Amino acid sequence: MTDENLDPALIELAHTLLDAARQGDAETVRAFLDQGAPADLRDAAGNSPLMLAAYHGHAALVTELAERGADVDLLNERGQSPLAGAAFKGYTDVAQALLAAGADPEAGEPNALATARYFAREEIAALIEKSQA
């Protein structure tokens, strides 16, 4: 099914949910999920609300999404994991939240540890290494 076959109102709702996750608007995200929106809804680039929350530094929202069943290892179309996104951006608190929720440091390409090392995110690399010990 292509976008032109979808209800424009439905597309707008999906964009609103994804934008709320990107902005860390937990209240709006929570309202959508409470009304039955899928926690793993994805945009055209394959980014889920959890990926967007992780990439934009919203650790508490990442935790809430994981608790509501969002896949913490769901890769986007570029093969990136939320944990690798957090490592790239240097969000230690997000990395901690993802690891606490069971994120796989080996998921994606490059994986989170390789990303943390490449961008010299030493604190995140240490967290990942500790989780693998």
Question: What does the domain layout of the chain look like in residue ranges?
Answer: 3-132
Residues 52/81, Cβ–Cβ less than 8 Å: no
User: Cα–Cα distance between 12 and 7 in angstroms, integer?
Assistant: 9
pLDDT of 1 higher than 50: no
Taking only the tens place, the pLDDT of each residue in 37-70 is: 999 999 999 999 999 999 999 999 999 999 999 9
Could you tell me which of 57, 59, 53, 109 has the C-alpha nearest to residue 80?
109
**Whole-structure pTM over 0.85, yes or no?**
yes
pLDDT-derived band at 2 (thresholds 50, 70, 90) equals very low
CATH placement of domain 3-132: 1.25.40.20
User: Distance between CA 57 and CA 91 in Å, rounded?
Assistant: 6
